[in-house]
Amino acid sequence: MKGPAADHDAKLAALEQRIGYAFKDRALLREALTHGSVHEGQKRKRDYDRLEFLGDRVLGLCVAERLLADNQTEQEGELAPRYNSLVNRHACARAARAAGLGEALILSPAEEAHGGRQKEAILGDICESVIAALYLDGDLETARAFITHFWGGAFEDAKGVRQDAKTALQEWAAAKKKHLRYVEIGQSGPEHAPHFIIEAHVEGFAPVRGEGSSKRDAQRAAAEAFLKARGERG
Last residue of a domain, one of 113, 136, 160: 160
Examine residue 33 and state whether it is found in any structural domain, yes or no: yes
Domain count, the chain: 2
**70 has catalytic annotation:** no
Examine residue 234 and state whether it is found in any structural domain, yes or no: no
Rounded CA gap, 66 and 148, in Å? 9
Q: How many CA atoms lie within 13 A of 142 on its CB side?
A: 18
Q: What are the residues facing 87 on neighbouring strands?
A: none
Give whole-number Cα distances, 98 to 35, 87, 118, 134, 146, in Å.
19, 16, 12, 17, 11
Rounded CA gap, 178 and 180, in Å? 6
Most confident of 20-34, 35-49, 65-79: 20-34
Single-letter amino acid code for the residue at 44: R
Domain span including residue 68: 4-160
Do 147 and 56 touch, CB atoms closer than 8 A?
A: no
Do 38 and 106 touch, CB atoms closer than 8 A?
A: yes
Last residue of a domain, one of 132, 160, 188: 160
User: Which of 47, 56, 199, 224 is an active site residue?
Assistant: 56
Residues 154 and 172 in one domain: no
> 108 pLDDT exceeds 50?
yes
Q: Report the chain's mean pLDDT, rounded to a whole number.
A: 90
If one compares 153 and 232, the residue with the highest pLDDT of the two is 153
Rounded CA gap, 41 and 144, in Å? 35
Query: Can you give the CATH number for the domain in which 55 is found?
Result: 1.10.1520.10
> 63 pLDDT exceeds 90?
yes
**171 has catalytic annotation:** no
Query: Can you give the CATH number for the domain in which 192 is found?
Result: 3.30.160.20
pLDDT of residue 40: 66
CA quadruple 16, 10, 137, 48: dihedral sign: positive
- Of the pLDDT bands very low, low, confident and very high (cuts 50, 70, 90), residue 1 is very low
Residues 199 and 131 in one domain: no
Q: How many CB atoms lie within 10 A of CB 218?
A: 26
> 44 pLDDT exceeds 60?
no
Strands (E), 16-60: none
- Of the pLDDT bands very low, low, confident and very high (cuts 50, 70, 90), residue 64 is very high
pLDDT digits (tens, 9 = 90+) for 116-147: 888 999 999 999 999 999 999 999 999 999 99
Give whole-number Cα distances, 8 to 27, 40, 115, 155, in Å.
12, 20, 18, 33
Last residue of a domain, one of 160, 183, 202: 160
Residues 147 and 187 in one domain: no
Do 222 and 210 touch, CB atoms closer than 8 A?
A: yes
Do 37 and 108 touch, CB atoms closer than 8 A?
A: yes
User: Which of 47, 128, 137, 199 is an active site residue?
Assistant: 128
Residues 100 and 203 in one domain: no
If one compares 3 and 145, the residue with the highest pLDDT of the two is 145
pLDDT of residue 4: 63
